[in-house]
Structure 1
Amino acid sequence: MPAVKSCRLVCPNNTHDPIPLPDGVTIHVGRSEATRCIDPRCSRKQLEVTADYTSGEVTVKQLGANSSALDGIELEKDRICKLPEDGIIYLLTGMYPQKVEFTYEDTPQSSDKKKTKYLENKTKDKKKESVKRPAIDSIDSHHKTKKPRKSNGEKIKEKDMPENGEADKTVEEDEEDIKKLEEKLKILKKNAADKKFAFTSDSEASQHEEKMKNLKGKEQKERKEATSSKSSSSTSSITSPSKAKKTWQLSEGPPAEETKWQQFEKLYVCTRKGVRARDKVAGFDIDGTIITTQSGKTFPTHLGDWRILYPEIPGTLKKYHENGYKIVFFTNQLGVSKGKTTIDELKTKFSSVLDKLGVPAQIFISTGGGIYRKPARGMWDFLCQRANDGIKVNISESLYVGDAAGRPEKWAAKKKKDFSCSDRLFALNIGVNFYTPEEFFMSQKAVPFSMPEFDPRAIDTTSPLLDPPNSSITSKSQEVILLVGFPACGKSFFSKYYLTPKGYVHVNRDTLGTWKKCVDMCAKSLRQGQSVVIDNTNPDKESRQRYITCAKAAKVGCRCFYFTATITQARHNERYREMIDKSHQPINDMIMNTFKSKLKVPELSEGFSEIVRVNFVPKFKDSEHEKLYKQYLLEK
């Protein structure tokens, strides 16, 4: 056995720096800066860890009151256990994983073994590249009904892909690999002749030579096929051979070499070791879709209060991963912005969840509002544009699964109403097939659901602005125009775009502060011979009567422009403004609900000379703004 050079505890999730374990020195591991563990249930001296370099063993003893676990098995307090090099010790059961990592003294013989092993692995990998991965039909019949379908109901055409999940290399890349392997083989043979190094047996050299011949045969066959494909594509397709070849190469990327966490404003992205960029994505929500609470409560009571929702989940995810899908989780975690949890706690929790699932995956965590919060498609766009190694995602073959599906009360026995429709709307915004966890993992039938009353996709920018359509926005005579409508229904834009350029004085409580100052400004402007637009919400007769009285005192007419946008559309407009204007001060739901409770639809009997209904017909700065507006932005 090679001599141990050093030993350390490392986090498989890469959430903290390695913790050195000197030979024969007892180290206490627990809640500390070193482990980034802040859970109060974990003692500062949760574990006692000792490494023995002579025997190459590490012993662990639990000191803390709450259970630690070794490879999923809970430990007993004060009992000493051996921690194998490949074993995982959890500071708390299912949380804060640690792994032993030994470094050995290097010797000429061990170096030769590494080189020979590397050569074997490379040639094995080359042989595997010619093996085709099973199509999605290889998933057992329990899941066949859940295969993605195109919008016209036809099954998606499956693609042949390599068994080991790696994209096929080009002929040129194969040729280069062969040259490198030949050079290494020559060096090893020379060293063997000089008796500096040796193969483990005479047959091993011949085996390598045989594998090299097979690799060359594969390379020649692929070159021939590529030449044939190039010839046919030049006559049967308008796509150039170079572009077709590029698409073939980029169906899948190399595996991530290590787990990495990244932050982009209020978005956190975790790419786990082994994750590959792929052109098919199986997306999932986490809470209520992959996990639920152990306590049975709606919200977890502590960091470790979770369990896998259905036993079928890990196996299903692995099958989709093996059949060419990139597994990606998208989760809203507004609690971080509200101070109810921390991103470090979520990193620890979700890393433990992925350990339990046993499948390489990416996680996108939205910790605030804005474009990254579902149902807005910001997290998905980030994945496609910046977190998939440039490989284009095939929307028609991708899917999304979530529990926020707009299902009513008692959609199943003892089931509550879904808290929102955000997951279903997220999938709609993206354009992928949507399933609930019960449909996808348990093959249950789809149940009825409700959609929001406002559909932003139905907005027509060419529809009439006014009703009746022949109404005039401005008047040649001096007048007062009083606007009535929800906050964020377009009143201020209407005033500044259509009225103030025509000389109307803009009166607004947000600017002046009180309604009395607004009335004074209205009366003063009328005395000066100017027309006035009152840009307040003016929900009830009392608030409107103040300005009708001003108009009568000045002996001018008073028209009412009633904005027809509903509270749902106004909320949508408000969410949209938050996303395109970071300086915008958000309007909360309480203000919206207050207006709704006070609203009395205006009538001519109040003293108006005319009532004009104003439809919401938005104007957009560019196509990107229009695209954003026509997404579902509200969760309910």
Structure 2
Amino acid sequence: MPRKCYLTCLLNSHPPIPLPHNIETVIGRSKLTKIKDQSCSRNQLSIKADCENCSVELKQLGLNPSGFDGFSMTKDAVYKVGHNTRIEVLLNNHVHLLKFDPPPVDHSKAEGKRKLEDMEPEQSSRKSIKMEGDSKPCDVKAAPESAWENVDSGELYIYTAKGVKSSEKIAAFDMDGTLITPKSGKVYPVDISDWKIAFPTVAQKLKEQIELGFKVIILSNQAPIGSGRVKIEDFKKKIENIVRKLDVPIQAYIATGKGFYRKPTTGMWRVLSEEKNDGLVIDMEKSFYCGDAAGRTANWAPGKKKDHSMADKLMAENLGLTFYTPEEFFLGHKLSDVLMKKPDFHPKQYTPEPFDQRLISSEKEILVLVGFPGSGKSFIAREIIKKSDNRYVSVCRDELGSWQKCASTATKFIQQGKSVIVDSTNPDKESRARWTALAHELGVGSRCAKMAASLAHARHNNKYRELRKEKHLPVSDIVFHSYKNKFVEPSTKEGFKEVLTVKFTGTFENEDAEKMYKLHLLEK
């Protein structure tokens, strides 16, 4: 029987399109493909099948890019592909499969064992995996009714749709930009009705996960609820409508504040694993997370803007979960050629530094600290006081309120025979010159200790203090960047006897505190 070739729509929205041997077929926006998208040309893609060798030549004719197997095509370039290639008539949209009948010999066995839409090797293999201790579906009852729960006075809301079943396998998804996108075309939705399903394959893919024994959940940051810009009752309706549209039993976790529930921190997952999974232990190797906040740089695909953050990818790293972007999971794209930003500070690589004994002088002095908020100045000041048997004292503008009060207090301490630590940011020559002048006036020496912690490290420390509810006021990004813009490298030319560079030194009150510190805490 002569071999034939077809272009099959992944969503079965139209019958397979025959591709005759060695004859060019041009497809695009038409009644044949059911594509109505004006971005798609009527003559978008040229396809020429070689049925004898099971190969197909593709050529993009339209102005907007087409794609195949996760690659963006270039206009008028010719690409040779084969059986089971995923074709995107428009990049990320209108997904089809190239099929030969009968298939090539190498695919014969696989073709008899799986459906056309079951294209993920990892997922198909999961069907046959049976781990020791796995729960049987009948062991866990489905949620009898849909219900909402409120955790920590509205810091977290949980929606469990009717039919949700707990499982040791979790398929977790971000919501905005992953499952849905604003139908208005704007970056952010204009109201609770401004949404549409992000990709044509979303509902089908989620249903596949249910069939494979996964529990499907949503993990979403929604700060506008916490700030009062969006009413929770309105947002609940939005979630219910999304779940109804997808027609899949989903459990949704909605973080409304800035605390430990908000991604990339792992509070939502902790509630899931400890309280909302019927006691089943989650298999982290089988489970995965999919989200669009992956730190992809601008033009990671033609015309695509950079990702708004890295929160999704970093949360997956915090948990040790396999991570997918939406395009990778729902459309089969590959990430090998996609540039992704990496965090500037890696908390897991941090190891505490020993105390620098050079910070303590045998002579009376004014020691001026320099560094970002959160760079460890106050901790170092306390350590110096303790290790010097209280020969040093600290003055801090945040506590005393003005430079004049700090100078007056420092003068009294110097006159009492103490050395003084200036615990302030002191980014520029002007702020430091006041202290070298005062030291000269009082007849004592002055040194400078510059904290080595970077901006990213200091911001991490600030977020850690905020999450631990320590007695520090949160520091805004404006303050951090103000320091960065004012900063001038200190030198002995300013009148200091010595300028030391001090690595960050920190200790943890317990194991939980250290574990939190070593998580990615920042979204960007």
TM-score normalized with structure 1 length: 0.61
Residues 267-286 of structure 1 show CA distances to partners (whole Å, capped at 9, x for unaligned) of 11111111111000000000
- Where in structure 2 are the equivalents of 1:335-414 lying within 5 Å? 335-414=224-303
Unmatched 5+ residue regions in structure 2? 1-112
1:224-243 → structure 2 map (5 Å cutoff): none
CA distance in 2, matches of 1:618, 1:252: 47
Within 5 A, what are the aligned runs for 1:163-562? 248=135, 253-265=140-152, 266-446=155-335, 447-461=338-352, 463-466=353-356, 471-499=357-385, 501-562=389-450
**1:529 Cα deviation (Å)?**
1.5
Assess if the C-alpha contact under 8 Å between 1:564 and 1:613 holds in 2: yes
> Once the 2 structures are TM-superposed, how far is the Cα of residue 588 of structure 1 from its aligned partner?
1.0
Aligned partners of 1:465 and 1:616 also within 8 Å? no
Task: Sort the Cα spacing of 1:316 and 1:514 in 2 relative to 1 into closer, same or farther, 3 A.
Answer: same
Residues of 1 paired with 2:492 and 2:419: CA distance? 20
User: Does the 8 Å CA contact 1:145/1:443 hold for their aligned counterparts?
Assistant: no
* Aligned match for 1:571, one of 449, 452, 459: 459
User: Which structure shows the bigger proportion of residues in helix conformation?
Assistant: 1
Residues 1:480 and 1:250: Cα distance change in structure 2 (over 3 Å): farther
Answer yes or no: is the 8 Å Cα contact 1:504–1:530 preserved in 2: yes
Query: What letter matches 2:460 in structure 1?
Result: H
Which amino acid in 1 is paired with 2:342?
M
Distance 1:157 1:497, change over 3 A: farther
Judged with a 3 Å threshold, the aligned counterparts in structure 2 of structure 1 residues 303 and 384 are, in CA distance, closer, same or farther, namely same
How many angstroms apart in 2 are the aligned matches of 1:281 and 1:353? 19
Residues in 2 aligned to 1:585 and 1:604: alpha-carbon distance in whole angstroms? 32
Structure-2 residue corresponding to 1:8:
none
* 1:144 counterpart (120, 126, 142): 120
Partner of 2:129: 159
Check the 8 A contact 2:384/2:392 in 1, yes or no.
no
Q: Structure 1 residues 554 and 615 mapped into 2: Cα distance closer, same or farther (>3 Å)? A: same
In the alignment, structure 1 residue 607 sits paired with structure 2 residue 498: no
Aligned AA for 1:588? Answer: S
* Identity rate, percent: 40
CA 1:351 to 1:603, structure 2 compared with 1: closer, same or farther past 3 Å? same
Q: RMSD in angstroms over aligned alpha carbons? A: 2.0
Supply the AA of the counterpart residue of 2:145. Answer: E
SS at match of 1:519: helix
Amino acid at match of 1:294: K
Once the two structures are superposed, residues 220-244 of structure 1 have per-residue CA deviations (whole angstroms, 9 ceiling, x without a partner) of xxxxxxxxxxxxxxxxxxxxxxxx8
Q: In structure 2, what is the Cα distance between the partners aligned to 1:290 and 1:146?
A: 21
* Aligned mates of 1:350, 1:293 — CA distance in 2: 14
| Residues 198-257 of structure 1 deviation map (CA, whole Å, 9 limit, x = unaligned) | xxxxxxxxxxxxxxxxxxxxxxxxxxxxxxxxxxxxxxxxxxxxxx87x65699521111
Contiguous gaps of at least 5 residues in structure 1: 1-136, 149-154, 162-243
Deviation (angstroms), 1:519 = 1.3
For residues 275 and 438 of structure 2, the distance between their equivalents in structure 1, rounded to whole angstroms, comes to 58
- Residues 146 and 439 in structure 1, CA contact (< 8 A), matched pair in contact too: no
1:542 Cα deviation after fit? 0.7
Distance (Å, rounded) in 2 between the aligned partners of 1:428 and 1:537 = 33
Cα offset, 1:509, TM superposition: 0.5
CA distance in 1 between counterparts of 2:222 and 2:135 reads: 37
**Aligned partners of 1:328 and 1:316: how far apart in 2?**
13
Measure the CA separation in 2 of the matches of 1:365 and 1:269. Answer: 6
Task: Give deviations 1:368-399, integer Å, cap 9, x for gaps.
Answer: 10110100011111110111111100000000
Distance 1:590 1:547 in 2: 26
1:138-189 deviations in Å (ceiling 9; x for gaps): 57555414649xxxxxx7794349xxxxxxxxxxxxxxxxxxxxxxxxxxxx
Contact 2:294 2:311 in 1 (8 A): yes
- How far residue 631 of structure 1 moved from its aligned partner, in angstroms, is 0.6
> Aligned AA for 1:595?
Y
Q: Structure 1's 474 and 140: CA in aligned 2 closer, same or farther, altered over 3 A?
A: farther
- With over 3 angstroms needed to count, the CA separation of the structure-2 counterparts of 1:156 and 1:621, relative to structure 1, is farther
What is the alpha-carbon distance in structure 2 between the residues aligned to residue 346 and residue 253 of structure 1? 29
